[in-house]
A and B are shown apart, each in its own frame.
Chain A
């Protein structure tokens, strides 16, 4: 019996979320008096996982898996979970992991709790705390199945180094043709730009920017901070920014360490989408803007005055702390 994690990598390096779920799984495994096993696909160097408590890696090498196929990946994880007699399987909250996790859960007749934000409150009965109602509340969810699948909300646990010794094992899964029924014909991925999914800091702007031509300073602020850019719903609806940048209840959820909102008044749907972010900064001309009620820090002022000055201050800070 072990706690299993599915690790994702990008260009040969594990994503930070893989280390975060390893850290989380190690704590869960300790409470269940067991160990953490990681599933890796086409990974070459897995040693870094040992730093975060992973004591065994089961690696699948198969060129057919160089492209993401949800059903095939789910089959790999199901087969390894069965072989390892895994009782808890932890996924990150990335797009691909959220694609796979329900397939794995149903294949193992397991309960699935997504958006988990903390270690289990109990392990018998097994209860976890998760975000619900678009971050307006938490649900203590009890899982009654023998196997439990968890989706850990991004940035909810952090990295905890617990170095252990690591063993590696190869695994050859079996596939059916149906596993490859979704045939990818094209993929477009922005390169060299921090995405909302990977970002620890997000700089977001709204109609207070007055027009798409004014986004240069938002992009510069994001660049100085190594942040992703985002926007409010009206801005994406008008077409000033792409839909992929819309954060909120019906857009992308943001669970960043730092969320900076510029010229966004703070509609309830927007707040719901970003409420999991740890620290919120609001810059707005209107001191009565609802966003100030949920913000940690605020600046009442004109974005066109405040943002350029903030960029300069941050540049100086970065230079002094390089």
Chain B
């Protein structure tokens, strides 16, 4: 079984979000980059499948040289090889088309991506990739078991969950629940040393243009100070929620 795990290289969840160049570009100054948290669940699941069933795990990122540290971390966690598509990621459709090319070149059975990245929050790449490949797709996947050339998946639905059986090739968009958070892998020294010898292949992009682009960023307006209500005067809170905020 060949597994491809799509990795987004994103600002750490605690990062301060600022913009430069007249608010047209994200300010990377002082920002620590990490594996996208939703992708981390997918990567751990792939490594577990490798350990249990002998899968070969490749990680891929569409991005610049700065993403190589993140790919090396994925190799240290247990992926066998890495691919960086040498292109600046502009939008989901462009990224999906680059990933489509990688999948077609590599002939993967199972493609795992995170439901969404925590920077641009598009939530579209896995679905678009599945659409381009014409293969099965399970979004918001919180459970995956593989047997032979098919899988049993569990996906979140509004107010519950749904189990399905699906044949390969398959794209899943995973998130928290795909593996337990306590089972997430962190690189150990042996993994870090081994990662140095693993292949990180650079692939040139196929010529695709973006369908969307961020032309400007804004930050939310500063909030007015909180209105504090005494714990002994909760009638006032009810009154404010009803008459001022008009939410009850």
**A-side interface residues toward B, CB under 8 Å?**
68, 70-71, 74, 94-96, 98-103, 105-107, 109-115, 127, 129, 131-134, 136-145, 151, 178, 181-190, 193, 195, 197-198, 201, 225, 237, 243-244, 246, 249-251, 257-258, 268-269, 272, 275, 278-279, 281-282, 292-302, 305-306, 309-310, 313-314, 317, 321
Closest residue of A by beta carbon distance from B215 = A142
Closest residue of A by beta carbon distance from B153 = A182
Question: 6 tightest A-B contacts by CB?
Answer: A102-B127, A111-B211, A301-B231, A189-B160, A195-B159, A106-B131
CA distance A22 to B135 in the complex (A): 31
CA distance A98 to B176 in the complex (A): 17
**B-side interface residues toward A, CB under 8 Å?**
11, 13-14, 17, 19, 26, 37-38, 91-93, 96, 118-128, 130-132, 134-140, 142, 152-153, 156-167, 175-177, 181-182, 210-220, 223, 226-231, 234-235, 237-238, 240-242, 245, 247-248
Query: Residue B13 contacts which of A184, A269, A294, A298 (CB distance < 8 angstroms)?
Result: A269
CA distance A298 to B241 in the complex (A): 11
Given contacts A94-B158, A314-B238, contact A114 B121 (CB under 8 A): yes
Query: Residue B17 contacts which of A137, A296, A314, A317 (CB distance < 8 angstroms)?
Result: A137
CB neighbours (8 Å) of B11 from chain A are: 133
- Output the least CB separation between B24 and chain A (Å): 9
Query: Residue B226 contacts which of A74, A297, A313 (CB distance < 8 angstroms)?
Result: A297
- Output the least CB separation between A71 and chain B (Å): 7
Given contacts A95-B157, A110-B211, A131-B121, contact A305 B248 (CB under 8 A): no
- Output the least CB separation between A179 and chain B (Å): 10
CB neighbours (8 Å) of A94 from chain B are: 158
What are 20 inter-chain pairs, A to B, with CB distance below 8 A?
Answer: A105-B124, A106-B128, A109-B211, A110-B211, A111-B211, A112-B124, A137-B19, A140-B214, A140-B217, A144-B211, A178-B134, A178-B136, A185-B152, A186-B163, A244-B156, A272-B13, A296-B245, A299-B230, A299-B234, A321-B242
Query: Residue B234 contacts which of A95, A143, A145, A309 (CB distance < 8 angstroms)?
Result: A309
CB neighbours (8 Å) of B214 from chain A are: 132, 139-142
Q: Are A298 and B119 in touch, CB under 8 angstroms?
A: no
Q: Are A257 and B247 in touch, CB under 8 angstroms?
A: yes
CA distance A321 to B138 in the complex (A): 45
Q: Are A246 and B121 in touch, CB under 8 angstroms?
A: no
Given contacts A268-B14, A313-B238, A317-B242, contact A197 B159 (CB under 8 A): yes
Closest residue of A by beta carbon distance from B227 = A297
Given contacts A70-B139, A106-B96, A181-B166, contact A132 B121 (CB under 8 A): yes
- Output the least CB separation between B142 and chain A (Å): 8
CB neighbours (8 Å) of A185 from chain B are: 152, 163-165
CB neighbours (8 Å) of A127 from chain B are: 215
CA distance A295 to B240 in the complex (A): 13
Query: Residue B229 contacts which of A71, A197, A257, A297 (CB distance < 8 angstroms)?
Result: A297
CA distance A302 to B211 in the complex (A): 51
Q: Are A317 and B140 in touch, CB under 8 angstroms?
A: no
Query: Residue B247 contacts which of A129, A141, A278 (CB distance < 8 angstroms)?
Result: A278
Q: Are A137 and B219 in touch, CB under 8 angstroms?
A: yes
Q: Are B163 and A184 in touch, CB under 8 angstroms?
A: yes
Q: Are B247 and A258 in touch, CB under 8 angstroms?
A: yes
CB neighbours (8 Å) of B17 from chain A are: 133, 136-137
Instruction: For the A-B complex with A131-B121, A294-B223, A310-B238 known, give 12 more contacts whose Cβ atoms are closer than 8 Å.
Output: A70-B127, A74-B131, A95-B156, A111-B210, A114-B124, A195-B159, A250-B118, A299-B230, A300-B228, A313-B238, A314-B248, A317-B248
- Output the least CB separation between B239 and chain A (Å): 9
Q: Are B93 and A112 in touch, CB under 8 angstroms?
A: yes
Query: Residue A111 contacts which of B93, B152, B215 (CB distance < 8 angstroms)?
Result: B93
Q: Are B241 and A279 in touch, CB under 8 angstroms?
A: yes
CA distance A244 to B157 in the complex (A): 10
Of B118, B126, B166, B212, most buried by chain A (CB within 10 Å of CB) is B212
CA distance A149 to B216 in the complex (A): 20
CB neighbours (8 Å) of A296 from chain B are: 223, 226-227, 245
CA distance A184 to B107 in the complex (A): 26
CB neighbours (8 Å) of A310 from chain B are: 234, 237-238
Q: Are A114 and B122 in touch, CB under 8 angstroms?
A: yes
CB neighbours (8 Å) of A68 from chain B are: 157
- Output the least CB separation between B207 and chain A (Å): 15
CB neighbours (8 Å) of B127 from chain A are: 70, 99-103, 106
Closest residue of B by beta carbon distance from A228 = B159
Closest residue of A by beta carbon distance from B142 = A243
CB neighbours (8 Å) of A281 from chain B are: 237, 241
